Amino acid sequence: MLDHLSLIVRDLPRSTRFYAAALAPLGAVVCHEDASTTGLGRPDAPQLWLAAAPEVQPIHLAFRAENREQVRQFHAAALAAGARDNGGPGPRVHYHPNYYAAFVLDPDGHNIEAVCHTPE
């Protein structure tokens, strides 16, 4: 349903480094950069746009992982890139029996999730 999403960040270069590292395990790459925006996603189609602004209202953003290992890799990569842990990799059965996710807070306080909906 979604084609792309724009996320407001305070420091574009810092957030570009963070998202490039955190989303690499999910297959995302930086596919556009200019002075005011960065686009990440498939090489031919940016799906997440970052744009700088002085004020940020944190949101929750969930990325679909193909498997549970990608969720674990996302969490490790995000922490290594400077995120704060907001819920390590594991089942979240209160959502549904196969919901496996990890949560981090990005440099601007956005709650970023990687989730896999398939059983192990």
What does the pLDDT look like over 65-98, one tens digit per residue?
999 999 999 999 999 999 999 999 999 999 999 9
Task: Specify the pTM.
Answer: 0.94
pLDDT band at 102 (very low <50, low <70, confident <90, very high): very high
C-alpha to C-alpha distance for 45 and 47, rounded to whole angstroms: 6
Please check the confidence at residue 60 and state whether its pLDDT lies above 80: yes
**Contact present, 113 and 60 (Cβ < 8 Å):** yes
| The pLDDT of residue 1 | 72
Domain 5-116 listed as CATH 3.30.499.10? no
Enter the tokens of residue 86: 């907001």
pLDDT band at 2 (very low <50, low <70, confident <90, very high): confident
Hey, where are the domains in the chain? 5-116
Cα dihedral 78/45/62/7 (nearest 10): 80
| The pLDDT of residue 3 | 87
